[in-house]
Amino acid sequence: MFGGVLNTSMLRKAQDKKLVEYKLINLRDFGLGSRKTVDDTPYGGGAGMVLRPEPLVAAIEAAKQKARFRQGYGGQAKSKKQKARIILMTPRGEKFDQTKARELSKLENITLVCGRYEGYDERVTQFIDEEISVGDYVLTGGELPAMIVVDAVTRLIPGVLGGETSAEKESHSQPGVIEHPQYTRPEEFRGLKVPDVLISGHHAEIDKWRKTQSK
């Protein structure tokens, strides 16, 4: 699922610039037995399957190991302990927002754990640092929420957007403020005109209008 998103547009360019590196860990690689089983029926009964703790925790520990001894882009191993965090994508977690994205963008390594099926064995939560939710709705798994977090965090890494102030002018860069309306050519489209202030050439008035609209 991740290939199309991580290798497109800004996320791909961030990799090309060596500003970020994405690594995918397949839970099946840690599955049990010849069938690489990762789930089982829940104790107490109920519909659906639940991710078992053994393969999920093994995958988390493998991610921690990769973070601890990650190879530098220049080919030299980084043995120094890095700022890392293990995050479980779950509907009961802290609500993800721009403030959280900025916090995560300052870390050197983030591992996002994606649930599936009816969820995961609760004991898995003893092996993570925090839980994050992207909203109060149900999805098939944690992959889409993880990609949302990756996109929001990556664009805040210095140099990814090109201009150092690009991310500062976006929606939610300040509490209660969204980006002002944007217009481009033509000046009139099907009777809808660009606001006069934007074509006035009066930069102080344009700036005032934009600030008012942003609030």
Walk along the chain (215 residues) and give the pLDDT tens digit of each residue: 999 999 999 999 999 999 999 999 999 999 999 999 999 999 999 989 999 999 999 999 999 998 876 644 444 445 444 589 999 999 999 999 999 999 999 999 999 999 988 899 999 999 999 999 999 998 999 999 999 999 999 999 999 998 655 555 565 667 778 899 999 999 999 999 999 999 999 999 999 999 999 98
| 75 and 99 Cβ atoms separated by less than 8 Å | no
By the 10 Å C-beta count (0-12 exposed, 13-18 middle, 19+ buried), 114 is classed as buried
Torsion of CA 194, 196, 200, 205, to 10 degrees: -110
Ranges of each domain in the chain: 2-154, 180-214
**What's residue 52's pLDDT?**
97
| Dihedral angle of Cα 149, 7, 61, 155, to the nearest 10 degrees | -30
How far apart are the C-alpha atoms of 105 and 8, rounded to whole Å? 20
Indicate the pTM of the whole model. 0.86
Tokens of 170: 């976006």
Selected from 3.40.50.300, 3.40.50.970, 3.40.1190.10, 3.40.1280.10, the CATH number assigned to the domain covering 2-154 reads 3.40.1280.10
- The DSSP bridge pattern shows strands 188-189 and 39-40 to be unpaired
- pLDDT for residue 162: 81
**pLDDT the model gives residue 13:** 96
The CATH number that domain 180-214 falls under is 1.10.1270.20
Q: Which helix (H) or strand (E) holds 85?
A: strand 84-95
pLDDT of residue 164: 55
- Residue whose C-alpha is closest to residue 158's, from 90, 117, 95, 106: 106
pLDDT (0 to 100) of residue 196: 97
Which residue is listed with tokens 């092996």?
127
pLDDT at res. 75: 43
pLDDT at 145: 97
